[in-house]
């Protein structure tokens, strides 16, 4: 969510400025978060819009902020530090927002892209095509339009008998006849800075909302006889806005379908596109396999031949070639080539599995290096540790890293065998080739090759069950087993099982 956006390619003949209108509250979202900060596909809506405009290589990128401005400005500083926030104190309409932005760059000359901040499906190709159409027609203003099945709530494009664009009419101000028009304003415009600035200065507020509509600029320029046009988007889906949570879900689905289509075209197997979610920032190599319920987020990358899922979430994680992660939750980790994870494990930031390493079932890891071919097969917590190569960590081992105040490090050498249910109380080192006995609480270093034993010896209290639990099924079973301990009046000590 906070990844910096990729730098824009330097397109020839870009624009003088990109202006993103993002000051509105987005009331219909019913959210404390400003609308443009809602995310889909791993980016905010605002981030998607900025990414779409990036190839225009604008000298100025201005983002009009107002409602929730601090949050929007913080977000911009993270994802697009080159963009300049411009404050619109009062939300007096999209036209007023555009005028405020242009006032921040008084010497601007040439084409300006104006775009609503709530158009997350906008693609660079769509924006570039609009600019090309604007240039080819020699317009002072060109609006991106779209033919949609349901134009409810959108501004209608009013064309004259000759087919030329005459005006944009908002739905609430439209006549019944105008409402039947299905060609709508996408909320993306290219205008020449000087005439645009002048026309914005003429905007009134004589409409149903009492706002200065950016859309009225078009009619004003037409009245002056200036060349104005409408360029239909190649794919109307690209320009769909996002005003409430239902639309957000629908846009997210569309965006995800796009990402998966691209992956499949590139040779990735997606078993169930309906339940597989991949952020736009993720990379997946050909011949990787995504099982149902795979979610790949952030900077995650998956290598060739790797299998992810079913039911696995990877966030900012690198999965190497041929690796497998099944039914697990993985954050900020590196899973080396041919390494395996899961089912049912939780890998936290700083986990690095070398080639061929294994983290099996019900294991939690954090800030740990697991060496080549080493295994943590079952039911363990492994935190703040370095594990060498070829080691085996027995079931139910705990790396006891926290003394209640500070975290401490554990080092486990090459080819170590940690016995099941060992507590490794950090800071502690188990040397190369050493073993620990099952059930040990290891508090001091184990030298290379040594067996660390740290547990009470076993003692058997003979005939305890028959004496203390007479008449029970256990006592009867013990009797039936024969009286192996009959002559042992005293307690016996069992051989230590080391």
DSSP sequence for 390-427: T-EE-TT-EEE-B-SS-B--EEE-TT-EEPTT-EEESS
Q: Is there a contact between 448 and 466 (Cβ–Cβ < 8 Å)?
A: no
Give first-to-last CA distance, the chain, whole Å: 52
DSSP 245: H
CA 336 to chain centre: 21
Catalytic residue list contains 378: yes
**Binding string, 102-141, against Ca ion, x = CB under 5 A?**
----------------x-----------------------
The one catalytic residue among 378, 408, 409, 415:
378
Here the contacts of 433-438 (C-beta below 8 Å, separation 24 or greater) are 437/498, 438/394
Minimum distance from residue 189 beta carbon to ligand UD1 (Å):
10
Spatial distance between the Cα atoms of 73 and 444, rounded to a whole number of angstroms: 52
Which span (9-17, 112-120, 221-229, 409-417) binds ligand UD1, by CB under 6 A? 112-120
Nearest to 399 by CA among 353, 454, 340, 441: 441
From the list ligand UD1, Ca ion, none, partner contacted by residue 214 (C-beta under 5 to 8 A by kind): ligand UD1
Compute the least distance from the CB of residue 356 to Ca ion, in Å.
52
Find which of Ca ion, ligand UD1, none residue 96 binds, CB within 5 to 8 Å per kind: ligand UD1
Part of the chain binding ligand UD1 (CB under 6 A), chosen from 182-190, 342-350, 375-383, 432-440: 182-190
Contact status, residue 448 vs residue 413, Cβ threshold 8 Å: yes
Q: Does 185 bind ligand UD1 (CB under 6 A)?
A: yes
401, 397, 400: which is closest to 421 by C-alpha?
397
Under the binding rule (CB under 6 A), the answer on residue 308 touching ligand UD1 is no
Beta carbon nearer to Ca ion, 172 or 468: 172
- The residue from 116, 367, 411, 466 that contacts ligand UD1 (CB under 6 A) is 116
**Candidate list 38, 96, 123, 252; residue touching ligand UD1; CB under 6 A:** 96
Cα distances (Å, whole numbers) of residue 361 to 148, 207, 241, 346, 475: 50, 63, 44, 9, 37
- State whether residue 214 is helix, strand or coil: coil
Distance of closest approach, residue 213 Cβ to ligand UD1, in angstroms? 4
Answer yes or no whether residue 26 interacts with Ca ion by CB under 5 A: no
Question: Rounded to 5 degrees, what are φ and ψ at 122?
Answer: -60, 135
Indicate whether 91 belongs to the interface with ligand UD1 (CB under 6 A).
Answer: yes
| Contact in structure between 192 and 145 (CB atoms under 8 Å) | no
CB of 251 to ligand UD1, least distance (A): 12
Task: Confirm or reject binding of residue 151 to Ca ion (CB under 5 A).
Answer: no
Which positions from 232 through 291 interact with Ca ion, judged by CB under 5 A?
241
The site string for ligand UD1 over 21-50 (x = CB under 6 A, - otherwise) reads xxxx--------------------------
Q: By CB under 6 A, which span of 113-121, 173-181, 262-270, 456-464 interacts with ligand UD1? A: 113-121
CA–CA dist 448, 432 (Å, integer): 5
Min dist. Cβ of residue 102 to ligand UD1 (A): 13
Q: Is 154 in the site for ligand UD1 (CB under 6 A)?
A: yes
DSSP H or E stretch at residue 60: strand 60-65
Smallest distance, Ca ion to C-beta of residue 74, A: 23
94 binds, among Ca ion, ligand UD1, none (CB under 5 to 8 A by kind): ligand UD1
Instruction: Report the distance separating Cα 302 and Cα 323, nearest Å.
Output: 9
**Distance between CA atoms of 338 and 292, rounded to whole angstroms?**
21
Whole-number Å distance between alpha carbons of 342 and 376: 10
The reply on whether position 213 binds ligand UD1 by CB under 6 A is yes
115 binds, among Ca ion, ligand UD1, none (CB under 5 to 8 A by kind): none
Q: Helix, strand, or coil here: 461? A: coil
Pick what 282 binds: ligand UD1, Ca ion, none; C-beta below 5 to 8 Å, kind-dependent: none
Name the residue nearer to Ca ion (CB basis): 118 or 279.
118
Beta bridge partners of 65: 87
Q: Which residue's CB atom is positioned nearest to ligand UD1?
A: 155
- Nearest residue (CB) to Ca ion, 145 versus 392: 145
> Binding of Ca ion at residue 338 (CB under 5 A)?
no
| Beta-carbon contacts of residue 303 (< 8 Å; ≥ 6 apart) | 285, 288, 319, 320, 321, 322, 323, 337
Positions that interact with ligand UD1 (CB under 6 A): 21-24, 64, 66, 88, 91-94, 96-97, 116-118, 154-155, 168, 170, 184-187, 213-215, 241, 243
- Catalytic residue numbers, as ranges: 378
């Amino acid at each position: 969510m906070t990844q910096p956006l990729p730098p824009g390619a330097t397109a020839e003949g870009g624009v003088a400025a990109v202006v993103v209108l993002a000051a509105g509250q987005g009331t219909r979202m019913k959210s404390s978060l400003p609308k443009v900060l809602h995310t889909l596909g791993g980016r905010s809506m605002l981030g998607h819009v900025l990414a779409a405009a990036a190839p225009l290589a604008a000298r100025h990128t201005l983002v009009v902020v107002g409602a929730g401005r601090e949050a929007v400005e913080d977000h911009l500083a993270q994802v697009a530090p080159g963009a300049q926030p411009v404050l619109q104190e009062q939300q007096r309409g999209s036209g007023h927002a555009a005028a405020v932005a242009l006032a921040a760059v008084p010497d601007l000359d040439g084409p300006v892209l104006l775009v609503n901040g709530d158009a997350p499906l906008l693609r660079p190709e769509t924006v570039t095509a609009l600019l090309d159409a604007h240039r080819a027609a020699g317009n002072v203003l060109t609006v991106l339009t779209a033919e949609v099945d349901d134009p409810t709530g959108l501004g209608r494009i009013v064309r004259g008998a000759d087919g030329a664009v005459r005006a944009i009419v908002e739905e609430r101000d439209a006549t019944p006849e105008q409402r039947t028009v299905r060609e709508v304003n996408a909320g993306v415009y290219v205008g020449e800075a000087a005439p645009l600035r002048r026309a914005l200065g003429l905007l009134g507020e004589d409409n149903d909302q009492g706002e200065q509509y950016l859309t009225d600029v078009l009619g004003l320029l037409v009245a002056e006889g200036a060349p104005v046009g409408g360029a239909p988007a190649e794919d109307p889906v690209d320009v769909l806005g996002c005003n409430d949570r239902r639309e957000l879900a629908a846009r997210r689905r569309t965006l995800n379908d796009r990402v998966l289509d691209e992956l499949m075209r590139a040779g990735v197997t997606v078993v169930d596109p309906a339940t597989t979610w991949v952020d736009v920032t993720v990379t997946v190599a050909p011949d990787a396999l995504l099982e149902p319920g795979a979610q790949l987020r952030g900077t995650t990358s998956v290598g060739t031949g790797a299998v992810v899922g079913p039911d696995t979430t990877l966030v900012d994680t690198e999965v190497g070639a041929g690796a497998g992660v099944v039914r697990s939750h993985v954050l900020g980790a590196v899973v080396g080539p041919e390494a395996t994870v899961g089912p049912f494990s939780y890998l936290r930031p700083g986990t690095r599995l070398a080639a061929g390493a294994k983290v099996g079932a019900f294991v939690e890891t954090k800030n740990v290096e697991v060496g080549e071919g080493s295994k943590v097969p079952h039911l363990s917590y492994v935190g703040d540790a370095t594990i060498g190569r070829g080691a085996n960590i027995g079931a139910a081992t705990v790396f006891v890293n926290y003394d209640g105040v500070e975290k401490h490090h554990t080092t486990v050498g090459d080819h170590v065998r940690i016995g099941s249910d060992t507590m490794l109380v950090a800071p502690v080192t188990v040397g190369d080739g050493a073993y620990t006995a099952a059930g040990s609480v290891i508090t001091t270093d184990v030298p290379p090759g040594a067996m660390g034993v740290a547990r009470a010896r076993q003692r058997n209290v003979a005939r305890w069950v028959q004496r203390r639990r007479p008449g029970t099924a256990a006592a009867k079973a013990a009797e039936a087993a024969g009286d192996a301990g009959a002559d042992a009046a005293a307690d016996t000590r069992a051989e230590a099982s080391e």
